[in-house]
Amino acid sequence: MLGFLNLHKPTGMTSHDCVGKVRRICGLKRVGHGGTLDPLATGVLPIALGPVTRLLPYLPEQKAYQATIRFGITTTTDDLAGDILSQQAAEHLTKEAIEATLPKFLGSIEQRPPAYSAIQVQGQRLYDLARQGKDVTAPLRTVEVFDIQVLDWQVGEHAELEVAIACGPGTYIRSIARDLGEVLGTGATLSQLTRTLSCGFALPDSLTFETLEDQVQAGTFTPLEPSFSLQQPILHLPSAEAQRFCWGQKLPQDRGNGMMQVHDTCDHFLGMGEIIDGLLKPKVVLPPAS
């Protein structure tokens, strides 16, 4: 079993929990995921099966989310999993006022990750430090937010805004919710989050654990091809050179520098290689299909 699984992560499980469950269902030791989702979040969690875990760094980085932001509340975790820090009425907010503020969160922006996050400070995860009661401020990071679209608006004491967000890697939607509430003067927290796109995998094509287990037991589960979502240029090698690539040997090439998907002339995916100054260096070589 070698390839990718587009898993629909359920709420209440960590990404690590999901990897462990996939190991048990598929009977595999080597399983990895392509991007952490918080326990309360749902949606796309790319899973690599077998040696394909080595391809995770080469997958597309853009992500997309559908999020609900609740105004008038702030929490320790910047979502509903945390303790409430403050509450105030937010029924005076209008959709128009929020839409006028959203451009502040587009483009290349400085963002402070939540206190409860996997960011490391002095060799320790922020969530570990927070659970120890240590007051550590997360360092600012530059992230990319490509688009924010308003999907729904619910007026009320704790008004809620539903948005679709397209962003680059490392972007915390919890931080966007928190900072939007701060700009508007009411405070806000994330009340719901679904990842709709990650590493080239889309939510409509994802499998639940129940469907995965049914397919594995029926013998009908087929992992997605290792090259399914790769976007690097393809380099086809004749059989002799393909063999040398699989042996880990460098090969002369007259193409420009850059990462390549390496295929044989029958279009079988062999792995990833990088051309540097006229030489193709194997970076990831997959075992031959059985």
- Chain centroid to Cα 140, Å, comes to 20
Kindly give the interhelix angle for 209-218 and 15-26, rounded to the nearest 10 degrees.
10
- Cα angle 198, 57, 219 (rounded to 5 degrees) comes to 65
Residue 167 tokens, joined: 């962003």
Q: Are 148 and 105 in contact (CB under 8 A)?
A: yes
Query: Residue 240 and residue 127: Cα distance in Å, rounded?
Result: 51
Annotated catalytic residue within 38, 78, 79, 179 = 38
Residue type (1 letter), 234 = I
Given a contact cutoff of 8 angstroms between Cβ atoms, the answer to whether 14 and 42 are in contact is no
User: By three-state DSSP, how is residue 278 classified?
Assistant: coil
Amino acid at 46: P
Q: With CA atoms as reference, report the closest residue to 37 among 63, 55, 75.
A: 63
Please confirm, yes or no, whether 38 is among the known catalytic residues. Answer: yes
Using an 8 Å Cβ cutoff, are 223 and 261 in contact? no
Q: How many CA within 13 A on the CB side of residue 218?
A: 9
Per the CB < 8 A criterion, the answer to whether 275 and 282 are in contact is: no
Q: How big, in percent rounded to 5, are the helix, strand and coil portions of the chain?
A: 25, 40, 40
User: Which residue's entry shows tokens 């409860």?
Assistant: 116
Note whether 103 and 126 are within 8 A (CB): no
Catalytic site residues?
A: 38
